[in-house]
Amino acid sequence: MNLSEIAGKEIVNLVTGERLGVIGECDLILDETTGDILALLIPKERGFFGLRKDKSVLEVPWRNVRKIGNDMIIIEYDGIY
């Protein structure tokens, strides 16, 4: 699968049903030798109408990805977001 094939897909947490973001807004941690995706870095943007955003990120290991569909990526993450 190419990066262009997952760009723009929404990330949804299977455990909470919460929308966490879009792949275009996230960073990826890659293995430099193999090119494999190791983790998703999802920005935590909490705030009122985009104000006072939390600048920290949620690191979700790629092994937590359960399904990549046409419009979204389903992850299973039971940590605190």
Residue 80 lies inside a defined structural domain of this protein = no
Looking at the 3D structure of the chain, how many domains does it have? 1
Residue 42 lies inside a defined structural domain of this protein = yes
In which domain, by residue range, is 54 found?
3-75
- CATH number for position 34: 2.30.30.240
**Residue 32, phi-psi category: left (phi > 0), alpha (psi -120 to 50), beta (remainder):** alpha
Tokens describing residue 70? 């046409």
The pTM of the full predicted model, rounded to 2 decimals, is 0.76
Confidence at residue 26, expressed as pLDDT on a 0 to 100 scale? 87
Q: What is the mean pLDDT of each run of 10 residues along the chain (81 residues)?
A: 81 92 88 93 69 74 94 87 53
Confidence at residue 44, expressed as pLDDT on a 0 to 100 scale? 78
What three-state secondary structure class fits 4?
A: helix
